[in-house]
Amino acid sequence: MFDYNLVTFQFFICPTGKVKIIEANGRGSMVQCFCFREVLAHGDMVEAHLKLAQGIRPHPPVFTGKHAAYVYFQSMISGRAGDIVDYNVARSTPYCIIRLKPDDVIEPLGDEGARIGQTTLIGDNRDSILRQHHNLYHKLFKKDLLGVKKD
């Protein structure tokens, strides 16, 4: 059935090593294209989608040993974006996208909060991704997005 299709899985890897599946999709996802390209040989998903559409089987991807994470920034606090986000850090961080202007007001909605941006992190292992995330989070945000006092 999937000879000419892609399947993507989204999941969490918990600190204990336990894997929690978020969702599985019987199609490729363009959101992960950059991550795939960075961590897989033959990982260009745009090229793979085009080949599949032509009925051509693409080269199977091969893991290179690198790790990637596509990280959303969600805010559970309200306020002016410029009072919460350091836009100089955002501009100087590769692949970091903040979807709000400094004068926009952040208003969380429900349990998900408000999506304010995203980034892609590339590293040699899970721990390097976690360190990058921690370091970027503390530089990028002037206030904790969950409303907890920042160190």
The sign of the CA dihedral 123, 124, 129, 132 is negative
The reported pTM is 0.72
- CB-based contacts of 75, cutoff 8 Å, min separation 6: 84, 106, 108, 113, 114, 116, 145
> Which residues of the chain fall below pLDDT 70?
1-7, 12-15, 27-31, 149-151
DSSP state of 14: -
pLDDT of residue 151: 56
pLDDT of residue 30: 66
Each residue's pLDDT tens digit, 33-62: 777 778 888 878 788 878 888 888 888 888
pLDDT of residue 3: 56
pLDDT of residue 82: 97
pLDDT of residue 72: 87
pLDDT of residue 62: 86
Cα maximum dimension of the chain: 54
> To the nearest whole number, what is the mean pLDDT of the chain?
84
pLDDT of residue 2: 45
DSSP string, 99-133: -S-TTPEE--BGGGBEEEEEEEEEESSHHHHHHHH
- Tokens 């009072």 appear where? 83
